[in-house]
Structure 1
Amino acid sequence: MKKLLKLASLALLGLSLFTGCKKNEAPYEELTDAKDGASVYIARFTGNEQKLSIFPYQDEARTFEFGASFGALGLPKNNISVKYAVDDKAFDSLNVQRGKMGLTAYRKFPAEAYQISTLNSTISSGKTTSDLIKVSYFSRLFDPAFDYLLPISIVSADGYKIGTNKTIFLVAPKLSETPASKTGWTVSADSEELVGEGSVNGKATAALDGNIDTYWHSKWQGGELPFPHWLTIDMKQDIYVTRVELAARQNASTGFSRFNIEASNDGSTWISLGTGLIMDPANKAFQSFPVTPGYRRYLKITMTAGATSVTKSTHLAEINVYRY
């Protein structure tokens, strides 16, 4: 009998301790309308700009979502209405900081490039996060040469303190060009000098081998062929081309002086990317030629005039293609 009473006492003690623990946790779960020590802030705040995905371009809108969070001892007893606004003051302040660091100022999001689903959200009773705000944006409508900023701040929260992390900074970053890998590419030419320039030079493939000291040469043995001369590159897949670089032959200055660039996606139908472009055959550095950007598979370089009026054959050391 004494043993049973002892077991019952231990069980009651355990229940009492368990209940006591539950009571100690209760303040974090209790509903409260007290505003002291409570705040509302951006849920996805990181302290840094949120960089949006811009490339590859697409016709459909991309989206970014965020909301508000509630911080306090306990949970909100009533719904909290949170209001937001595009924050021009934060935009100006951040640009002042960038200026001090020698950085280019952000541009504002173009009005036609984005939509905000709503500037109101609700943290429901008993919850710690709000429903989400959706920012839709159209990547094609941002100039890839510039950085854009859209700051959105909490401006009111039903009388609750707004936390210092009240603003989300959405950035549409400028795009950086990178040289496209030439692995697997093929090249053809109107003619090649397969004998007179040695075992490597003279062939069209020398214009894509990554070596500026090798070169393609149009045929000259057995009689020079006149201008125009051309090289056609098959990149084997569509690449978003932004710029073409050409390097003249390093040990001669008798190349071409004018040329055209064309592009195709099927190898049959061509569009012009540049006409009457000027090449300096005496300049041994890479010479850069921005083109109308777009997805291209084939590029054609048509050389139309030589370094002198009597020049017939021509040559080229290397071709680089830049992309996003």
Structure 2
Amino acid sequence: MKYAPLISALLFVILFITCAPEKAAYDKELGPNDGGLVYLTQATQSAGLLSLSIVLPAESAAKTISACFGGLGVPKDNITVEFEVDQKAIDSMNNLRVKQELPPYSPYPSESFSLDQTSVTIPAGKECSSSVKFVYKPRLFSTSEEYLTAYRISKVSGGYKINKPISSILLVVVKPSLQPIDPMNLSATADSEEPSESRDGGLTDLNGYAAAATDGKWSTYWHSARTPQTTPFPHWLLVDLGAVRYIGKIGLVRRTGSKSNVFKTFDVEASLDGAAWVNLLKRAEMSNVFTVEQTYLTATTRCQFLKLTMTSAYANADHTMLAEFIPYELK
């Protein structure tokens, strides 16, 4: 048994070696010729297209871009990644638009955007770089045009290779569309109200109250005061949009079933603070038609408050009413 201690030691070494955890495949350090490729994370999403909103209250907004290393492991060296404008991608997209009988994208306006850096580093042993900020200024873009720019990985260091199909990112600004604002975000006041139109003083039945004009229901209505005495024209309805928005259209709905006391001409004004006002519509006219939303396009205006001033009626009456006031915002 003189070999027993030696055998035991040998078995211990074998067990230690066989039981020691192996380095996971994705933790292995890879050199430039070991199969890893550098790509843009955003290029793997939505076909590499990022949509930018220009309907924002902020002076500037940003999207982030980052470079990553893809492979069965991590890079063993720092990788410097450089970016440049991808004019080939821009031209390709515009050629496609022309074939589809669409106008080509407009270039971004001068001084409307910037990259905070044109190169980043993927650290050795890590998968991704820090983010590059693409900063743009929404107010320098027209809401009637569509814009495109593109960036791509132009160079990587250390002999590492680029995954070309996912190395470019398109940043597109599409024309915003007009959408009705959710009534839950709206509140309204008026020059006067008629509580007698409600069955319960406005607890659940809003008829007669200003709030009925922005509740999203055509079956309810606001009514100007007629008891104990009538308030004469002009009448006004003031709507708080709940936040600063870009308004481009107004919808009006007459009270269902009522043929009298409908206002005919009206003005609409907009304000950011409820104090200084600009005209959106002047001496506009509402048709004497039932159960149809009548819409009026306006100049795109940034505001939080809208004021509807009703200036005359179809009939010889002093009071008036409205089922729904529907503001549309650009989104």
CA deviation string 1:116-145 (max 9, x = no partner): 234344456666545543322223333455
Equivalent position SS for 1:238:
strand
CA distance in 2, matches of 1:71, 1:166: 15
State the AA in 2 paired with 1:62.
Answer: A
CA distance in 2, matches of 1:220, 1:238: 33
CA distance in 2, matches of 1:207, 1:25: 64
CA distance in 1, matches of 2:273, 2:119: 50
2:238 equivalent in structure 1: 232
1:305 equivalent in structure 2: 312
> Are the equivalent residues in 2 in contact too, given 1:253–1:281 (CA < 8 A)?
no
Q: 1:129 to 1:255 in 2, by over 3 A?
A: closer
1:288 equivalent in structure 2: 295
Q: 1:214 to 1:161 in 2, by over 3 A?
A: closer
> Are the equivalent residues in 2 in contact too, given 1:180–1:320 (CA < 8 A)?
no
Report the CA distance between 1:114 and its aligned residue: 0.8
1:62 matches 2:68:
no
> Are the equivalent residues in 1 in contact too, given 2:255–2:290 (CA < 8 A)?
no
2:202 equivalent in structure 1: none
Report the CA distance between 1:282 and its aligned residue: 2.6
CA deviation string 1:265-295 (max 9, x = no partner): 6655544333222222236421223444324
1:135 equivalent in structure 2: 134
Q: How does 1:1-324 map to 2 (within 5 A)?
A: 1-17=2-18, 28-29=28-29, 32=31, 34=33, 37=35, 39-48=37-46, 49-52=49-52, 56-69=56-69, 71=71, 75=75, 80-95=79-94, 106-123=105-122, 129-130=128-129, 132-144=131-143, 147-157=146-156, 160-163=160-163, 164-172=165-173, 174-176=175-177, 177-182=179-184, 185-190=187-192, 192=194, 202-219=208-225, 226-234=232-240, 237-240=242-245, 242=247, 243-251=249-257, 252=259, 255-264=262-271, 269-282=276-289, 284-291=291-298, 292-296=300-304, 298-307=305-314, 310=316, 312-323=318-329, 324=331
> Are the equivalent residues in 1 in contact too, given 2:60–2:135 (CA < 8 A)?
no
State the AA in 2 paired with 1:294.
Answer: R
Report the CA distance between 1:259 and its aligned residue: 0.8
Q: 1:224 to 1:185 in 2, by over 3 A?
A: closer
Report the CA distance between 1:209 and its aligned residue: 4.2
Equivalent position SS for 2:279:
strand
Alpha-carbon RMSD: 4.2
State the AA in 2 paired with 1:238.
Answer: A
CA deviation string 1:41-81 (max 9, x = no partner): 2244314223446554212443523225365777456x655
Report the CA distance between 1:153 and its aligned residue: 1.3
Q: Which runs of 5+ in 1 are unaligned?
A: none
Equivalent position SS for 2:111:
helix
CA distance in 2, matches of 1:57, 1:128: 35
Q: With structure 2 as the length reference, what TM-score do the two structures score?
A: 0.72
CA distance in 1, matches of 2:144, 2:40: 30
Q: 1:205 to 1:45 in 2, by over 3 A?
A: closer
For structure 1, which segment, 118-127 or 165-174, has the greater mean C-alpha deviation from structure 2 after superposition? 118-127
Q: Which runs of 5+ in 2 are unaligned?
A: 200-204
CA distance in 2, matches of 1:84, 1:71: 21
